[in-house]
Structure 1
Amino acid sequence: MKKGVCIVNVAQGGVIDEEALVRALEGGIVAQAALDVFTEEPPPKDSKLVQILSDNRFYRSLHHLLYWQRSLAD
């Protein structure tokens, strides 16, 4: 894989190996990740993937933000 690729997943959780994505983000292989789903919804607060993602490397869809809002309200 070329360095600096962008990863997009709007299919379903579990399609992407999240541990491998963390390593690829840390190593600069993946420059950005756009995720609408995670393997575990909502992701755990101590998720390394959530911790590494910043507004510059992570896109949160409206669908995902509304899901998180409802989850937090419960």
Structure 2
Amino acid sequence: MNTAQHILVFKTNIATVEDRLKVAQVLDRQPFIGKWTVDLEDVDRVLRVVAAIPAIDSIIALVNASAYECAELED
């Protein structure tokens, strides 16, 4: 069984606790996401996702569908 975990990092415009709750309704339902956090204090509102698969495009689409901006954060 593959138990590899991928840590994916994104820049977002998720700015408030209310915003985070709206995104939670979508992200919490994804079976490939183990856990996730949003740093509301960071200028980039960094979304970190621990996922079973490197589903970068899927996560961006899910956040965008929740009416928020999301882009992969480059090193």
**TM-score using structure 2 length:** 0.29
Higher helix share: 1
Q: Which has the larger radius of gyration?
A: 1
Higher strand share: 2
Higher relative CO (Cα under 8 Å, sequence separation at least 6) belongs to 2
